[in-house]
Structure 1
Amino acid sequence: MQAWLHHLTELETTVCRLWSRSGQQRRWIRYPFAFVSRLGDGVFWYSLMVTLPLVYGLTGLQASLHMLATGGLALLLYKSLKGLTRRPRPCHAHDITALVPPLDQYSFPSGHTLHAVVFSSVAITYFPLLAWILVPLTILIALSRVILGLHYPSDVLMATVIGLGLSYGSVALVG
């Protein structure tokens, strides 16, 4: 498994350098993406989980508990995958500057993206009108991870696929 990751890393490094340099040279890119990334640390999602029951009552509580359970499963899976793959972050392996400090040393998969996809997908299942804010936010969080020099595009892409699988699998179980 390490050989294919090494090859993929070489292919993606050019993209990471280009995006990271854009963020370094343009504050109007760096600061908004740093802010969006910070929201993806959990602040926004935990606030949403607290707010949903207050606004939507029992259905909001059910959605929040569903988000919490699926997010917990996502956390276990992403930590396991990071430990198995041990893929260095672009900012640790290349001449790419991290525009915000990384939360840990490994890159694959993007935990921010994985959780954004899981939380958004579950919330939208219960409250489709939230899609107008959650889908753009999730996309911006995913983009921020590459632009800030913290992840390769494949980290974000695979986190999206895993997140969709977890969220839709959990929705099918709850049914």
Structure 2
Amino acid sequence: MANPVTLVKARARAGHMDALYCFRMNRWIRERKLHQFFNVVSRLGDGVFWYALMLLFPVFMGAKGFVITALMILMAAWGVYIYKQIKKRTIRPRPFVRYRSIKQGARTLDQFSFPSGHTMHATAFAILLTQAVPWMGFILFPFAVATGMARVVLGLHYPSDVFMGAVLGVLNALLTLVLFSSFL
């Protein structure tokens, strides 16, 4: 069994590194073009991009498109439930709230930081949609990475929030594919 003092030190170091990377990446918004880029990515991740895809799939893919949209809605509902439950229990303040020197680069949809719902949904949808329409992976995986980066750059999340959001997104997608892949 690990020494409790060692565990406390390791946790403190991890927290320090998390904040350090958040500070460093948040400096990027001083560059106007980068700030605009990450703000657009984050705003698209609010749902606009995903809602548009949900509307377009049935139009262009017929019955298969309806199935894809239904699975996206199911994943989104499950994802929102999971991340809200975690946020209620962890109540981790956002970086711009915790540290006055971190600039808030975009508006938030809710109060707490852990985990990143934007990253969770972007990751889950990228996996599902790439399984259904393989060429979309070339667009969706870079978008998912950019979404996670945007959330840190804009001072809204720590890297660990984004990492756990991605992990939850992978789990959500894998569960959905295990249960429903025969419909794709």
1:121 aligns with 2:127: yes
Between the two proteins, the alignment pairs up a number of residues equal to 172
Per the alignment, do residues 12 and 106 of structure 1 end up closer, same or farther by CA in structure 2, a change over 3 Å counting?
Answer: same
Q: Equivalent residue of 1:87, what SS?
A: coil
Q: Which of residues 111, 117, 142 is equivalent to 1:105?
A: 111
Give the aligned partner of residue 135 of structure 1. 141
Q: Which of residues 69, 72, 82 is equivalent to 2:77?
A: 72
Gapped regions of structure 1 (runs ≥ 5): none
Equivalent-residue separation in structure 2 for 1:150 and 1:9 (angstroms):
16
Equivalent-residue separation in structure 2 for 1:66 and 1:76 (angstroms):
15
Per the alignment, do residues 48 and 6 of structure 1 end up closer, same or farther by CA in structure 2, a change over 3 Å counting?
Answer: farther
CA shift digits 1:92-120 (9 cap, x unpaired) = 00121111122222100001101111122
Q: TM-score, normalised by structure 2?
A: 0.89
Give the aligned partner of residue 9 of structure 1. 15
Give the aligned partner of residue 170 of structure 2. 164
Q: Which has the larger radius of gyration?
A: 2
Identity %, equivalent residues: 36
Equivalent-residue separation in structure 2 for 1:5 and 1:64 (angstroms):
40
Runs of 4+ with deviation above 4 angstroms: 3-7
Equivalent-residue separation in structure 1 for 2:13 and 2:156 (angstroms):
18
Equivalent-residue separation in structure 2 for 1:9 and 1:145 (angstroms):
17
Instruction: Please tell me the residue identity of whatever aligns with 1:39.
Output: L
CA shift digits 1:35-72 (9 cap, x unpaired) = 01000000000100110111111011101101110111
Instruction: Please tell me the residue identity of whatever aligns with 2:96.
Output: C
Instruction: Quote the offset at 1:10 in angstroms.
Output: 2.8
1:147 aligns with 2:153: yes
Contact 1:5 1:87 in 2 (8 A): no
Q: Equivalent residue of 2:62, what SS?
A: helix
Q: CA RMSD in A?
A: 1.6
1:55 aligns with 2:60: yes
